[in-house]
Amino acid sequence: MNRSVESTDRFKTRNFDASPSMPSSSSDYITVEEDDSSDSKEPIPCTLKSVEDLLSLTKSLSQDDLQEMITKCKDMVLESAECSEERKWLVRRLIELRLKAQELRETSNEKALETCVILGHHFTPQKYYITTYNSVYCDHCSGSIWTMLQSWYMCKDCGFCCHLKCMSNICRVCVHVIASEVGGYTYTKDICPERGLSAQGYRCAECNVKITFTASQGLSLSCFGSPFKYTESSWVEPRLCDYSGLYYCQRCHWNSLAIIPARIIHNWDMEPRKVCRASYQLLSILQNKPVLLLEKLNQKLFTLIPDLSLIKRLREELHMMKQYLVVCPKASNEGLPWRSGLRTHILENSASYSVKDLVDLQNGTLIDEIHLSYGKMKTHITQTCDHCKARGHLCEICGNDEVIYPWDTTVTTCQLCSTVYHRLCRSKRNICCPKCLRIQRRQSTNEEASTSKVNDS
C-alpha cells in the first residue's frame, strides 16, 4: 500500500509540477535563450547544438533565408532517427519556420497591394475585418468570401469586393471613375435603353462571356473561378439590366434591386428593378448626389405631384431665410442654418434633387425634415433674434407697422430692387414699385444736372 502511494506521488510530481520537466542529467540537453520572435521554449538536444545558429528565428529574417532554413530543417528531419528527441525538436522547429514564412508572405502581399490601383479601383486590404453581419461575396467570381480566413480587398470608392486571387482578373472599371467622367455625376435619362442580344454579339456586356437563350451554345466559366460551373451544354442565362438596357451573365448580374432615376423622372415610378452589379454600385454612389434638375427634366411633375410643389415652395423660402442667418452672429452660435438637421444641398439651392430626396418625399420623411428646420429658422428670425427681426420690412404703400418678410404668403417682392410689399397693396398700385419710381426719378434728375453742367462749360 505504501509503495503504491509513493508511486502515485512521484507521478503527480512529474506531471503537475509548475516548471517544465527536465532530464535528470544536465549533460543530455542544454537550454538556449532564443529570440523573442520564436515561440519555441523547448530544450535543444545537445547533439543539435552545432545547428543552433542555422535554425534560429530572428526578426531580421527574409523570405529567402527562411526558405533556405526550411529546406535544411527538412533534410535534417529525414536524416534523424525515428522517434528520437532530435527528430521531435526538428519537427517543431520546422513548423515554426513554415508559420513564420507564411506570416512574412501575407505581410508582404498586404503591403504590396495596400495602395493598389486597378482599373480605377483603390483597393484596401480587409483581412480579418468583419464589416457586416451579412455574407460578403466576390464581385468578380461571385464566390463567398470567408472574412475571417481569407485575404480580401475592397475598393474604398465603389465598394467592389474581391478575393486576393481574383484581383489580377478584374475587368470592371470603377463606377466612381465612370460617374466622374460623364459630365460630373449624372444619370441615364432613358428608361431601359435595350438594344438586344444581337447588338452585343451574344456576349456579356461586362466580362464578354457568351450568353444565349439556347442551351447548346453555353460556355464553361470554371476558368474564372465562378461558383456557377457551366458546361458546354449548359444554359448561361442572359439577364437584362433595367438601368443600362444591356444583357449580362449571372456572374455580373446578381438580380440586385435598385430604383431607376429615369422612371422617377418620367413616370414617378419608384419600384425597385433588377440591375447588374456595375449599375447597382453606380446608383448607390449617386443616390445622395443632388444631380437631378427636376424642373428642367420634367416640369409637369410639379403640377401632378402636390407634395413636390410644396417642397419647391418651402425650399425657396428656406433660401430666403438663409440670407438672414448667414450674417447673424447669434444664428452662427446656434448652428443655423447649416446644422439645423437639414441636408446641405437643400439650403444651397432650390432646384436640384437627389434620388434619396425623391424617395423620402414619397414616404413623407423629407417633408417632416424640412418642416422641422423651417420652424427653427423662422422662429429665430421673427421671434428670438432682435438683429434678424430688425432686418424685416414695412409696407411702404399702406404705411402699416406690421413687419413683413419675403417668405410670407401675403407679400410680394419687387424683382428689381427686392423691396417687400403686401400683395394686396401692390395690386392696388397697378404693380408699380414706389422705390423703383424714386430711383428712376433720381437718375433722370442726375442726368439732367450733368447735362446742364456740360452745356454751361
> What's the confidence (pLDDT) of residue 306?
94
Confidence of residue 35 (pLDDT cuts 50, 70, 90): very low
> What's the confidence (pLDDT) of residue 218?
39
pTM of the model: 0.67
> What's the confidence (pLDDT) of residue 220?
39
Sequence letter at residue 104: L
Q: Is the pLDDT of residue 63 over 80?
A: no
- Cβ contact 89:45 at 8 Å: yes
State in words which class domain 117-169 has. Answer: alpha beta
Q: Is the pLDDT of residue 230 over 80?
A: no
- Mean local confidence (pLDDT), 376-403: 91
> What's the confidence (pLDDT) of residue 150?
82
Q: Is the pLDDT of residue 34 over 90?
A: no
Question: Using one digit for the tens of pLDDT, what is the confidence trace for 420-450?
Answer: 999 888 887 777 888 898 999 999 998 888 8
- Name the residue with cell 473561378: 225
Question: Using one digit for the tens of pLDDT, what is the confidence trace for 260-269?
Answer: 999 999 999 9
Measure CA 406 to chain center: 40
157 CB-side CA count, 13 A? 19
Q: Is the pLDDT of residue 231 over 80?
A: no
> What's the confidence (pLDDT) of residue 233?
43
> What's the confidence (pLDDT) of residue 331?
92
Cα gap 62→263, rounded to integer Å: 59
Cα gap 406→344, rounded to integer Å: 22
Question: Using one digit for the tens of pLDDT, what is the confidence trace for 400-424?
Answer: 889 999 999 899 998 888 899 998 8
Q: Is the pLDDT of residue 355 over 90?
A: yes
Cα gap 289→311, rounded to integer Å: 18
> What's the confidence (pLDDT) of residue 427?
84
Sign, CA dihedral 284-286-289-290, equals negative
Q: Is the pLDDT of residue 38 over 90?
A: no
HEC profile for the chain?
CHHHHHHHHHHHHHHCCCCCCCCCCCCCEECCCCCCCCCCCCCEEHHHHHHCCCCCCCCCCCHHHHHHHHHHHHHHHHHCCCCCHHHHHHHHHHHHHHHHHHHHHHHHHHHHHCCCEECCEEEEECCCCCCCCCCEECCCCCCEECCCCCCEEEECCCCCEEECCCHHHCCCCCHHHHHHHCCCCCCCCCCCCCCCCHHHCCECCCCCCECCCCHHHCCCCHHHCCCCCCCCCCCCCCEECCCCCCEECCCCCCCEEECCHHHHHHHCCCCCEEECHHHHHHHHHHCCCCCEEHHHHCCCHHHHCHHHHHHHHHHHHHHHHHHHHCCCHHHHHCCCCCCCCCCHHHHHCCCEECHHHHHHHHHCHHHHHHHHHHHHHHHHHHHHCHHHHCCCEECCCCCCCCEECCCCCCEEECCCCCCEEEHHHHHHCCCCCHHHHHHHHHHHHHHHHHHHHHHHC
State in words which class domain 187-287 has. Answer: alpha beta
Q: Is the pLDDT of residue 236 over 60?
A: yes
> What's the confidence (pLDDT) of residue 21?
36
Q: Is the pLDDT of residue 17 over 50?
A: no
Cα gap 152→451, rounded to integer Å: 82
> What's the confidence (pLDDT) of residue 66?
82
- Mean local confidence (pLDDT), 70-82: 85
> What's the confidence (pLDDT) of residue 22?
36
- Mean local confidence (pLDDT), 107-124: 74
Give the least confident one: 38-42, 194-198, 378-382, 416-420: 38-42
C-alpha distances out from residue 283 to 170, 186, 193, 249, 266, Å:
20, 10, 16, 20, 17
**First-last CA distance in the chain:** 144
> What's the confidence (pLDDT) of residue 314?
94
Name 274's bridge partners: 257
- Cβ contact 161:136 at 8 Å: yes
- Cβ contact 336:377 at 8 Å: yes
Q: Find out whether the peptide bond into 20 is cis, omega within 30 degrees of 0.
A: no
Give the least confident one: 130-139, 233-242, 284-293: 130-139
Closest CA to 46 of 59, 21, 60, 29: 29
Question: Using one digit for the tens of pLDDT, what is the confidence trace for 166-194?
Answer: 988 999 999 988 888 755 568 888 999 99
User: Mean pLDDT score of the chain, rounded to an integer?
Assistant: 81
Domain assignments of the chain as residue spans, ordered by start: 29-110, 117-169, 187-287, 298-391, 395-445
> What's the confidence (pLDDT) of residue 290?
92
> What's the confidence (pLDDT) of residue 216?
41
Q: Is the pLDDT of residue 7 over 90?
A: no
The pair phi, psi for residue 299, each rounded to 5°, is: -70, -25
